[in-house]
Structures are given as structure tokens and as C-alpha cells.
Amino acid sequence: MMRWLVRGAYGLVALIAFSTLAFAVFQPIKVLPRAGLGPGILLQDQEGRTLSSDTLRGKIVLYSFGFSRCETPCQGSQAVMQAVQRELQAGTGSVPVQLVTISFDPATDTPAVLRRMSAQAGADPAHWLFTTGEPRRLKYAIGGGFSVYYGANEEGSFDYDPAMVLIDGWGILRAEYRTPTPKIETVLRDVRLLVEEAQNSTGVARYAYEAAHLFLCYP
């Protein structure tokens, strides 16, 4: 009796040890790290509609930043947004994904200007919104919340550190791309991973996803 109990315990310990190791090494499920809580934001889109972090709950949101007179530093993120939009137009199943470009120049970028930016970028308003907001709120959300630096300079333009941010349906920050030319494949992969996680995180599979977070199964 005692002997079988001890053998059973050996077996159990070995099973746990090997499955833990296999999970950590082979990473059967990959997740993006949870970097922190995204900021609360309040924006107006190109049609004057209000958009907030609350109304965006449940949606995966990819943010890019810029202003209408921005050229080189904004082109990289625009190409990425266009690529993700093409994927969204092909369909992502039941998980909604929203693209949001925030202009930090509300004085110039009125709804009419935002509509023009949207048209120039080839944005489909069903997937991709152009927004701006009240300057002080924007500063707290973009600068304080997303840690994305921008500031007016002497030439009447803006200094801006190119960045894009990916937020999940719970409002949690999942990826940041702090480069003038984010890699399209990387952003697409990350969006797909978040869609997959949201789709599969039901029932028992949810615990497998939580385990993937514990074992740092990062792509």
C-alpha cells in the first residue's frame, strides 16, 4: 500500500516537472506580455463622435499618433495601419479590432482635416478612425499614459518620437513599437496573437493561456 502511494507520488512529481519543462521550452501557446494598464482617454473622431477608453473596452485597439502636417516620422506607422486594415477587411472572426490614429494637434486638425487625413491614408472608417481631443487631456493620455513624447517646437511644428501602441480588450497595454519604421510582420503577428487569445480564452483553455503568461511564452 505504502509502496504504491510513494510510486504514485514519484509519477505525479515527474509528470508535473516534465509538463512544466515542456510547456516552457516548446511554448505550445504564445502570448504577448501584459505590460501595464492603458490610460483613460477621451477623443473625438473625424465625424465629431466621442470615442473613449470605455467605449473601446472589448476591442483590441492599435493606436498610432501624428498630426496632419507630419511627414517622415508618421509614414512608417501609416504603412503598418494600412497593412493591418487590409487584414481586418479580410475578417478577424468574432473579435473586434479597431485602428485609431490620434492627432496631437487639435488646433489645426479639425474634423474636416481629420476626414482629409483619413481619405489620404485610404482609411476605411469601419476599421480605422482619425481622432483628436482636448490638448491637456491628450498630453496626459499620450505623454503620461502611453509614454509617447511629443511637444511643440520653434518651427510651429511638433517634435515627436514615433511610436505605436497595442491595447487589448481589457484595456491592458500589450505591445509598444518605438521606432520610426515598425515591422509590419511583427505588428500583424501581435494583432493575430491577441485575436487568438481573445477567441480561445474560454473554459479550460483560459487557464492554459494564464499559464503561458506565467511561463513567459512570449513570441
Partner 1 sequence: MNNHTHLHIHPIERLWIIISFSMIGVFAVAVLTAGFAYGFQLPVPEDRIVDPNLVATPGATAFGEPGLRELSPGNMEARVLAQAWSFTPKEITIPVGTKVTFYVTTKDVQHGFHLEGSNINFMVLPGQISKLSTTFTTPGTYNFYCHEYCGVGHQTMYGQVIVTEK
Give the binding site for partner 1 (CB under 8 A).
2-3, 6, 9-10, 13-14, 17, 20-21, 24-25, 33, 35, 139-140, 143-145, 147-149, 151, 161, 163, 175-179, 186, 216, 218
Which is closer to partner 1, CB of 123 or CB of 165? 165
- The CB-of-116 to partner 1 minimum distance in angstroms stands at 28
Which is closer to partner 1, CB of 32 or CB of 114? 32
- The CB-of-204 to partner 1 minimum distance in angstroms stands at 25
Strand order in the sheet with 128-132: 36-37, 172-177, 164-167, 60-66, 97-103, 128-132, 42-45, 50-52
- The CB-of-136 to partner 1 minimum distance in angstroms stands at 8
- The CB-of-129 to partner 1 minimum distance in angstroms stands at 23
CB-count exposure of residue 18 (10 Å: 0-12, 13-18, 19+): exposed
Which is closer to partner 1, CB of 113 or CB of 141? 141
Which is closer to partner 1, CB of 38 or CB of 145? 145
- The CB-of-69 to partner 1 minimum distance in angstroms stands at 18
Which is closer to partner 1, CB of 124 or CB of 176? 176
Which is closer to partner 1, CB of 58 or CB of 144? 144
What's the chain look like in SS3?
CHHHHHHHHHHHHHHHHHHHHHHHHHCCCCCCCCCEECCCCEEEECCCCEEECCCCCCCEEEEEEECCCCCHHHHHHHHHHHHHHHHHHHCCCCCCEEEEEEECCCCCCCHHHHHHHHHHHCCCCCCEEEEECCHHHHHHHHHHHCCCCEEECCCCCEEECCCEEEECCCCEEEEEECCCCCCHHHHHHHHHHHHHHHHHCCCCHHHHHHHHHHCCCCC
- The CB-of-72 to partner 1 minimum distance in angstroms stands at 9
